[in-house]
Amino acid sequence: MARRQEQEQARSEISEVGPGILRMELPIRLPGLGHVNMYALLDSEGAAVLDPGLPGPATWRAIQERLRQAGLKVKDVHTVLISHSHPDHFGCARRFQKEAGSKVIAHHRFSFGPVQATQGPEVSVDDLAAQREAGAAGREQPGADPPPAPVPWGGKTPWGGERLRLSLRRRLQWRAMKLLGKGFLPTITHPVEHGDELRLADREMFVLHTPGHTSDHFCLHDPGTGILLAGDHVLPSITPHISGLSSSRDPLASFFYSLDRVAEISGVEQVLPAHGHPFDDLVGRTQAIKRHHDERLEKVKEISRDFGRPATTAEFSEHLFARRNWGSMADSETYAHLEHLRLLGQADRHVGPDGVPRYITG
């Protein structure tokens, strides 16, 4: 597999990608990704920014430098928008609140807790494999901040595996940061819902709730210019991780529904993703993403026929993915697909005396 554009390291140059919209690439240190796009939406009062990177001093320095190139200062940022509750999208929102008094806009379901913290990397197992095969595994971008410590959580997963369990030292660090008020979570001052209208870049844009990757993900549609600010919902060459650890009963069904809804929007001429380069074929890309998951669902059915008996999520996972990709993340994606088939009535679930669910497709 070739290295994907979402894995490219952040460039310091900024670019105008639409009327009054600047793309600013911020360095991040996350598996499968090399940068996150922060978009500055300019208006007569200053700017709003969308998805201000990971928390930490390196990201903050990069943001200040990008703003300076655009002739802006931190205090000019009156609004921060957060596409969804992953740290590489909201990391410096709290810093903007503190230093500029910025209001913070996110979906009303925004919540960073055990589910988000333990569901694994942002991108799918296949795209992490592409990064490894391109020789980029473990490569850290200079000046990038590491991700924050996740919320401590343990116990069993719904498929019978072990959840992430942090060391005692990291758990104590997390609690100390919260007690001292030094956490990285912003206060959402202006929660939004699907269909809400926002005044950005001196024109009207609309909130589109697009659950799947997370339950609180939203995109922004700018009908006047034909632009969709897509977050992680539709990426140019990779697919976001759809986790079995989700607050949604069927996150894959939610993702399919959301893909169909954005594909129906007429007049979209340019998609601005959170990772990778802008692109224009929204419908073609949504179809390709759905096709990828449809092929995986068919593969799951084929594996079940070969077993000829109910099998655990881990057993399915070890036939779906190469050995080097086995683990909790692969199990999580596999579980999301198995549960999707079950809820469609195309698979049965049996729980034995050991408490571990086993699946067989019809």
Nearest 5°: the CA angle 190, 196, 202 is 85
- Residues of the chain by 3-state class (helix, strand, coil), percent to 5: 35, 25, 40
- Asked if residue 302 and residue 264 are part of one domain, the reply reads no
- Asked if residue 356 and residue 209 are part of one domain, the reply reads no
Domain edge (last residue) among 244, 264, 280:
280
Tell me the per-residue pLDDT of 91-146, one tens digit each, with 9 for 90 and over. Answer: 999 999 999 999 999 999 998 864 444 445 688 888 776 655 655 444 445 567 66
Domain edge (last residue) among 280, 306, 332:
280
DSSP 59-128: HHHHHHHHHHHTT--GGGEEEEE-SSSSHHHHTTHHHHHHHH--EEEEETT---SHHHHHS--SB-HHHH
Residue 184: per-residue pLDDT? 82
Residue 181: per-residue pLDDT? 47
- Asked if residue 81 and residue 197 are part of one domain, the reply reads yes
- Looking at the domain assignment, is residue 247 inside a domain? yes
- Asked if residue 334 and residue 306 are part of one domain, the reply reads yes
The rounded distance, in Å, linking the Cα atoms of 356 and 313 is 9
- Looking at the domain assignment, is residue 166 inside a domain? no
- Asked if residue 230 and residue 250 are part of one domain, the reply reads yes
Domain edge (last residue) among 248, 280, 312:
280
Residue 263: per-residue pLDDT? 98
The rounded distance, in Å, linking the Cα atoms of 12 and 20 is 19
Low-confidence ranges of the chain (pLDDT < 50): 1, 114-119, 136-140, 149-153, 170, 174, 179-181
| CATH code of the domain containing 303 | 1.10.10.10
Question: Within the chain, what is the greatest distance between any pair of CA atoms?
Answer: 65
Backbone angles phi, psi at 49, to 5 degrees: -125, 145
- Asked if residue 308 and residue 212 are part of one domain, the reply reads no
- Asked if residue 246 and residue 344 are part of one domain, the reply reads no
In angstroms, the Cα distances linking 313 to 53, 284, 359 are 34, 31, 8
- Looking at the domain assignment, is residue 81 inside a domain? yes
- Asked if residue 206 and residue 353 are part of one domain, the reply reads no
- Asked if residue 188 and residue 80 are part of one domain, the reply reads yes
Place of tokens 């498929």: 159
pTM of the predicted structure, to 2 decimals: 0.89
- Asked if residue 292 and residue 198 are part of one domain, the reply reads no
Total domains present in the chain:
2
Residue 124: per-residue pLDDT? 86
The rounded distance, in Å, linking the Cα atoms of 130 and 3 is 6
Reading the block at residue 95, the tokens are: 């810093």
- Asked if residue 322 and residue 248 are part of one domain, the reply reads no
- Looking at the domain assignment, is residue 160 inside a domain? no
List the domain range (segments joined by +) for residue 331: 285-361
Q: How many residues comprise the chain?
A: 362
| CATH code of the domain containing 26 | 3.60.15.10
The rounded distance, in Å, linking the Cα atoms of 347 and 362 is 6
- Looking at the domain assignment, is residue 176 inside a domain? no
The CB density around residue 104, as the number of other CB atoms within 10 Å, is 21
- Looking at the domain assignment, is residue 266 inside a domain? yes
- Looking at the domain assignment, is residue 170 inside a domain? no
Tell me the per-residue pLDDT of 206-224, one tens digit each, with 9 for 90 and over. Answer: 999 999 999 999 999 999 9
- Looking at the domain assignment, is residue 239 inside a domain? yes
- Asked if residue 261 and residue 353 are part of one domain, the reply reads no
